[in-house]
């Protein structure tokens, strides 16, 4: 009776809330499903060994890739790294490789979105690459079977920028005067999956340029070629409008990146 008399209203409320919170954490962290593979009607899992028979160019370097660590949650299914993204493969094997018996992530991004949920959201933003309408696929920029899946990394002879400029040829150059940001990579200024800003820029207006050229806004006496202070110019918006630094990727005539 003495214990019950000490249980005030606040004790019951806060104690109950704490207990409920612990239950939620335990439900989330214990016995959690890692991955639900793409669905293939009537198919069963066969394991990676069956895939090697026909797809050696993809499975050869796969063991050293990031995606090789992706497996289905149920240990009874065995080694099913390939089927984690392509779906169960026994019908594909029995049919001799018929296309409609397996999931091809190159045709649809849904197989990628099952893990990369945040990218689905980015592709839904106002400015993004046309993945959702099938105009292009994740495989145009990523190779899920090798390395870290990002083209132009590691020991590759192709730079990361070449992944972008194979489509955006006008931005490739070479330029007499190259913007140093291009040496850092296109993603220094652009989010390749999607952005709320025009041209998939990571920031809008002069804020993008000032992330590197901060002295332009803070140091007195910095003058444009036309004899005007940068600080008054930047009040008008972006640095690459109004006849200023229009050649943001590089120029053949101006070290100030003007056409």
pLDDT tens per residue, range 38-75? 888 888 888 888 888 899 888 888 888 888 877 666 65
- Can you give the length of the chain in residues? 259
The CB density around residue 4, as the number of other CB atoms within 10 Å, is 6
Q: Which helix (H) or strand (E) holds 251?
A: strand 250-251
In this predicted model, which residue has the larger pLDDT, 225 or 66?
66
Comparison of pLDDT for 71 and 20, the residue scoring more: 71
Q: Is 94 helix (H, G, I), strand (E, B) or coil?
A: helix
Q: Are 47 and 80 in contact (CB under 8 A)?
A: yes
User: Residue 242: which pLDDT band, with cuts at 50, 70 and 90?
Assistant: low
pTM tops 0.75? no
Least confidently predicted of 57-61, 187-191, 226-230: 226-230
Nearest CA-CA partner of 182 in 104, 251, 88: 251
For tokens 């991004």, name the residue: 109
Written as six digits, the tokens of 141 are 């920029």
Q: Which two tokens stand for residue 182?
A: 């291009």
- pLDDT score, position 146: 84
């Amino acid at each position: 009776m003495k214990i019950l008399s000490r249980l005030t209203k606040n004790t019951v409320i806060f104690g109950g809330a704490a207990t409920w919170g612990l239950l939620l954490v335990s439900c989330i962290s214990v016995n959690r499903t890692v991955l639900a593979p793409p669905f293939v009607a009537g198919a069963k899992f066969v394991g990676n060994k069956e895939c090697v028979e026909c797809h050696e160019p993809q499975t050869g370097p796969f063991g050293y890739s990031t995606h090789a660590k992706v497996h289905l949650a149920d240990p009874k299914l065995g080694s099913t790294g390939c089927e984690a993204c392509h779906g169960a493969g026994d019908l594909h094997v029995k049919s001799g490789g018929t296309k409609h018996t397996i999931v091809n992530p190159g045709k649809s991004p849904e197989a990628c979105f099952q893990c990369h949920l945040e990218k689905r959201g980015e592709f839904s933003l106002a400015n993004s690459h046309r993945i959702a309408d099938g105009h292009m696929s994740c495989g145009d920029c990523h190779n899920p079977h090798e390395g870290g899946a990002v083209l132009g990394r590691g020991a590759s002879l192709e730079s990361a920028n070449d992944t972008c400029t194979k489509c955006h040829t006008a931005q490739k150059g070479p330029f007499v005067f190259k913007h140093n940001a291009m040496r850092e990579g296109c993603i220094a200024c652009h989010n390749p999956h999607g952005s709320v800003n025009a041209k998939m820029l990571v920031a809008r207006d002069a804020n993008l340029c000032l992330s590197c050229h901060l002295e332009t806004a803070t140091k007195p006496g910095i003058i444009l070629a036309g004899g005007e202070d940068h600080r008054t110019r930047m009040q008008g918006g972006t640095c690459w409008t109004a006849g200023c630094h229009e050649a943001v990727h590089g120029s053949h005539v101006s070290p100030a990146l003007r056409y």
